[in-house]
Each structure stands twice: as C-alpha cells, then as structure tokens.
Amino acid sequence: MANIDLVIAQICTDWEAAIPADRTNVRYQEVDGKWSLDGTASDRQFYFEFPARIEPIGEFGSSYSTIAWRVQAKLRLSDSGRSQRAQRIAATSEGNALMRLVEQRSSWPLGTWEVITEDVECERDESGDSILTLNFQITTTES
C-alpha cells in the first residue's frame, strides 16, 4: 500500500471514531465513492476522491520520491428537521471539528512528511443536504 493511502486510511479511522456534537447517536461512515440512502447510516457519510499528484518534491535515485498530493474528502450531512440557520451551524462546526482531528494528530504513518488542512467548502445537494468538501495537502515519500 502506498504511503498516501495509509495517511488517508488513518484519517478515515479517526473520523469514524468521532461523534457529531448535535447528533450523538449517528457516527461518520466511510462509503465507496457514492452516497447510500439507507436511513440513519446516510446522515454522516464521507469518501475521499483519488489523490492528485501536485509535484515531486525530491527524487532519491530510482527508489524513492517525496511527493505532494492534493486530497479532497466529501462529507454528506443529513439536514432533515433542521432550520437553515441550524444547517449552517452544523456544517461549519462539523467541518471544523473534522479538520481539527487531522490537525491535532501527533503521529502519522511512516513516510509521511506533512499533512496540511487547507479549507472547507459547503454546497447543497438536490435533497437539501449539505455536502462539505474538505481539502488537504499531504506530502509523503513513495517508493
């Protein structure tokens, strides 16, 4: 497994262990690139897009390269039963909380140089739910 995949797997593990502040009975759930519509399991779904290689930082012979990656996670927040103000507050607080989990991690898998949280964007889907896009820059050494 590539080091970038190990970093993403660690973020997924951390997020699945997190509990949303306003809906403590619902956990975050990683899905395979598409939303599931099976009731409460769909309240907090996320997936990671394929990492985009930004640039090689350094080459070490033919064996290793240090690479900067742009990584996006998509998170769907079910907004049923919420006012528009409550939806905005939930999207902001949950996006910030998930980014903070990444920022506060003290150790990463071997071969990870840095994990930078960049920004969070929010849009509405056709059902009225919030879709957050969380952006990262991750630098790893790959063989």
What is the Cα–Cα distance from 108 to 89, expressed in whole angstroms? 30
pLDDT in tens, 88-111: 888 899 999 999 999 999 999 999
Contact 57, 67 (CB under 8 A): yes
Partners of 46 in beta bridges? 30, 75
Cα–Cα distance for residue pair 121/3, rounded to 1 Å: 26
Taken in order of first residue, the domains within the chain and their CATH numbers are 3-142 (3.30.2000.10)
- Condensed to tens digits (0 to 9), the pLDDT of residues 1-40 reads 799 999 999 999 999 999 887 778 888 999 987 766 554 4
Q: How far, in Å, CA of 4 to CA of 128, rounded? A: 33
> The whole model's pTM is what?
0.89
Q: Scanning the structure block, which residue is given the tokens 């910030």?
A: 96
- How many other CB atoms are found less than 10 A from the CB of residue 72? 16
Per-residue pLDDT, 44 = 87
44 bridge partner residues: 77
